Structure 1
Amino acid sequence: MAKPKDPDPRAILRGGLPDRYLTPDDIADMFGVPLETVYQWRRKRTGPPGFRIGKHVRYDPSDVRAYVSQRKSARQSAA
């Protein structure tokens, strides 16, 4: 039996986020940016807020959703 293909992470972002904590790789895939950009956002505190679980960085889907909403509303109010 073939393993089902994982959906496009950007489609997940449009259709609703998964019910699990997201990895930096997930964030990079969703936003279509290099992984290093995600780490730069974290260092500069400009991207979605992440948190550490031991040595691993994770992102809460509700925080990512809020970040996207904030960016969209900021863009609309600037126009």
Structure 2
Amino acid sequence: MQDQRPLATREEVADFLRLPARTLEQWAYRGTGPKYTLVGRHARYDWNDVHAYLQRCRGGGAAA
């Protein structure tokens, strides 16, 4: 299912992921983290890319 929300700011994504915005800045610098687009000088995130990133990060759920 496609998320139809408008593009998100770095702060909005950080809030959603419960991370400091600085972490997303560092991930962008390192080339990791969710995909983003630069609109001028401003990073914008498509929510579909944020959810895809979370799926890629998902670990196994095996009980110990």
**TM-score under structure 1 length normalisation:** 0.68
Q: Which has the larger radius of gyration?
A: 1
Structure-1 separation of matches of 2:28 and 2:43: 10
Q: Which residue of 2 aligns with 1:57?
A: 43
Q: Kindly report structure 1 stretches of 4+ aligned residues shifted beyond 4 Å.
A: none
Structure richer in helix, relative to its length: 1
Q: Provide the aligned length of Structure 1 versus Structure 2.
A: 61
1:25-70 deviations in whole A, cap 9, x for unaligned? 0111011111111100111111101110111110011111111111
Higher relative contact order (CA 8 A, sep 6+): 2
CA RMSD of the aligned region, Å? 2.0
**TM-score under structure 2 length normalisation:** 0.82
Letter in 1 for 2:15: D
